[in-house]
């Protein structure tokens, strides 16, 4: 009888422990899902606002105030998504860096360059050319390191030749190639003549 009573109370304790563990795990998963949904919504809103704030060729701004709001939305989305596993964080970071390059604000140079390096790593690991394009553009726009810019320029010809690029990405690759050509021309003029 004593063993039966002990078993009933023991089972109750085990059952309560299981319930607490399930409740805790469910709460953690719901928090992650909530962060992902909120992050994607903010990043998507930033993307839409960014797209209506720049020219079709991504070279000029049609509304600087809207573009700043787009960068802010993408930043908020990225901050939520970077703690969640998955591709959402790279989508948000890609848009954040793209619109930051167009806006040209250099106040967050270190943060943007860190993001460019993260995008490059993800782009290389997963073979995603648009992440590599954005990484290169960010480095060419914000980096002060000539070697880092040279490394970005060496990637551009392979990206230009990638058949997976859509027309917009192809224009981006051609634009980046023109920046690299100007850099190379300037570097040649700066070298002293020998002879």
Q: 3-class DSSP state for residue 54?
A: strand
Q: What is the pLDDT of residue 193?
A: 42
What per-residue confidence (pLDDT) applies to 194? 42
Question: What are the structural domain ranges in the chain?
Answer: 36-105, 128-187
**Pairwise CA distance, residues 173 & 148, whole Å:** 17
Residue 93 confidence (pLDDT) = 96
Q: At residue 37, what are phi and psi to the nearest 5 degrees?
A: -65, -45
Mean pLDDT by 10 residues, the chain (195 residues): 60 71 80 88 94 84 92 95 87 95 90 96 94 96 95 96 92 94 70 43
- Quote the pLDDT of residue 10: 65
Angle, alpha carbons 25-122-94 (nearest 5°): 90
């Amino acid at each position: 009888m004593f063993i039966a009573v002990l078993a009933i109370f023991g089972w109750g304790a085990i059952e309560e422990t299981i319930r607490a563990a399930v409740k805790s795990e469910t709460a953690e998963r719901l928090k992650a899902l909530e962060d992902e949904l909120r992050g994607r919504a903010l990043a998507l809103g930033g993307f839409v606002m960014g797209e209506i704030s720049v020219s079709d060729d991504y070279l000029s701004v049609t509304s600087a105030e809207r573009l700043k709001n787009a960068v802010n939305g993408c930043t908020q989305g990225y901050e939520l998504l970077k703690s969640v596993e998955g591709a959402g964080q790279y989508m948000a970071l890609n848009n954040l860096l793209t619109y930051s390059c167009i806006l040209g604000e250099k106040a967050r140079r270190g943060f943007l360059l860190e993001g460019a390096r993260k995008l490059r790593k993800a782009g290389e690991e997963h073979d995603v050319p648009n992440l590599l394009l954005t990484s290169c553009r960010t480095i060419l726009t914000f980096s002060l390191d000539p070697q880092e810019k040279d490394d970005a320029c060496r990637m551009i010809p392979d990206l230009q030749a990638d058949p997976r690029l859509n027309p917009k990405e192809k224009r981006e690759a051609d634009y980046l190639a023109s920046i690299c050509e100007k850099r190379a021309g300037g570097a040649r003029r700066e070298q002293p003549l020998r002879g």
